Amino acid sequence: MEDIIIHSATIVNADRTSPNQFIWIRGGAIRRTGSMDLLKQNVPEEIRLRAVMVDGSRGFFIPGMIDMHIHGVQGADAMDGTAEALETMARVLPAEGTTAFLPTTITQKSENITRALEKMAEYRAAAPENGTAEIAGAHVEGPFFEPSKAGAQPAEFIVKASVDLFERWRQASGNAVRIVSLAPEHDPGFALTAHLQRIGVTASAAHSNASKALVDEAVKKGLSHVTHLYNGMSGLHHREPGIAAAALLNPALTVEIIADGVHSHPDMVQLAYQAAGANRLCVITDSLRAKNLPDGVYDLGGQQVTVAGDKPYLPDGTIAGSMLAMDKGFRNIQAFTGCSREEAVRMTSLNAAHEIGIAERKGSIEAGKDADIVWMDESEHVQKVWCRGRLAATAEQKGGVQP
């Protein structure tokens, strides 16, 4: 079993920055961390002599980022329903600092969603333990939406929320669904929302025209999350506070934000940070298969999406997903809000780990957790990434380290 010791490192977790540290990695997990003064005391000499030693004195180390809302990257999409697409996502994403993610479905025919979730279950069962980003479950975005707020969700496949339909998908996924995005006003009696809470799945408000009052009522039934704040929802209005206001004001809600400067003006990202705080915000990408590829025309759920620069859009001009990478989101959230580096770690890793139920093994660099570690230089660009203890990406290998 290979031992890796990163020494002389600065570790940035959500609660503190610790300089001059070591990180002892063994068997895909972090065995121990601590001050360099305690290295000899905490790591036996025979292990130090044979371990791979990594000089971490330049830059800093953060826990692997967790993207809880991503459709695709580099030509692959979760809705392709193939092992190849999922493997591409898992191999490529570490280059942007992502070590765990939720492949996200889109509003489509029920059988298409079923096939995509079945393939995720198969992939998770057969996937290698290390060396690629982990598929930590699935995010089902739709089809339980309000048609007038469909955005890039194909409106012809929208249906009312159904516990029975969701349960068929949950079974198809191998019980791996972690988030369901839905319009609260189309969940009769909040039946699905309450069901999701009972079984430990996050219910998230999305593509909805609900009032703040209705959202607050849904929170009492189990709603706990808001999908891509400001986008696809009733917005801020001084006489009719909608979902956006509920997201900012209700302390029971965690809130996704696409910090790309396209989906939301940087000032609106700052407003979210000042109102909700770093403890409730989760940076996500909502990225498409076109990410990492040249400008052009691509498919999203059977729709034509044109990508020009950082903006993907439908033929009618509707914005459709993003080109954002998580490492850029990490830099942007600091630039837009003035938050600390520690808070950026919280919003790109720890909050998501808690929200999708994996915080016992991800979201921070500490003993006993998965060795999901991102090494950044002082300009906050990714230098190396370890996924469960195995080198998965370097600055020179943007497509991911080949197994």
pLDDT in tens, the chain (403 residues): 799 999 999 999 999 999 999 999 998 999 999 999 999 999 999 999 999 999 999 999 999 999 999 999 999 999 999 999 999 999 999 999 999 999 999 999 999 999 999 999 999 999 776 689 999 999 999 999 999 999 889 999 999 999 999 999 999 999 999 999 999 999 999 999 999 999 999 999 999 999 999 999 999 999 999 999 999 999 888 989 999 999 999 999 999 999 999 999 999 999 999 999 999 999 999 999 999 999 898 888 778 889 888 888 888 888 888 999 999 999 999 999 999 999 999 999 999 999 999 999 999 999 999 999 999 999 999 999 999 999 999 987 654 444 3
Exposure class string for 87-111: b at 16+ Cβ within 10 A, else e: bbbbbbbbbbbbbbbbbbbbbbeee
Q: CA-CA distances (angstroms) from residue 358 to 163, 176, 178, 203, 363?
A: 24, 12, 10, 17, 8
Q: How far apart are CA 105 and CA 305, in angstroms?
A: 16
Give the residue numbers of the binding site: 141, 152, 207, 228, 231-232, 239, 263, 319-321
Q: Which residue has the tokens 């895909």?
A: 28
**40 strand-pairing partners:** none
Residue among 29, 99, 4, 131 nearest 367 (CA):
29
Q: Which residue has the tokens 């610790």?
A: 18
Segment (H or E) for 306: strand 303-308
Cα–Cα distances (Å) from 400 to 93, 205, 274, 279, 325, in that order, read 7, 34, 36, 31, 14
Residue 293 DSSP SS3:
coil
pLDDT at position 127 is 75
Binding-site positions for Zn(2+): 141, 207, 228
Provide CB contacts within 8 A for 109, sequence distance 6+. Answer: 157
Fold (CATH) for 3-62+365-394: Urease, subunit C; domain 1 (2.30.40)
Peptide bond into 94 cis (omega under 30): no
Alpha carbon 186 to chain centroid, angstroms: 25
In this prediction, residue 398 carries a pLDDT of 55
* Residue 286 annotated as catalytic: yes
Q: How many CB atoms lie within 10 A of CB 188?
A: 10
What's the confidence (pLDDT) of residue 314? 87
Strand-pairing partners, residue 374, are 62, 385
Assigned superfamily of 64-355: Metal-dependent hydrolases (3.20.20.140)
3-class state of residue 213 by DSSP: helix
Helix (H, G, I), strand (E, B) or coil at 356: coil
pLDDT of residue 300: 83
Q: Which of 216, 260, 286, 372 is catalytic?
A: 286
Q: How far apart are CA 380 and CA 66, in angstroms?
A: 17
The contacts of residue 103 (CB under 8 Å, 6+ apart) are: 70, 71, 78, 86, 89, 116, 120, 135, 138, 139
Domain boundaries, given as residue ranges, for the chain:
3-62+365-394, 64-355
- Which residues, 6 or more positions from 116, have their beta carbon under 8 angstroms from its beta carbon? 78, 79, 80, 81, 103, 105
pLDDT for 399: 47
Question: How far from the centroid of its chain's Cα atoms is residue 66's Cα?
Answer: 4
282, HSE (Cβ side, Cα atoms, 13 Å): 30
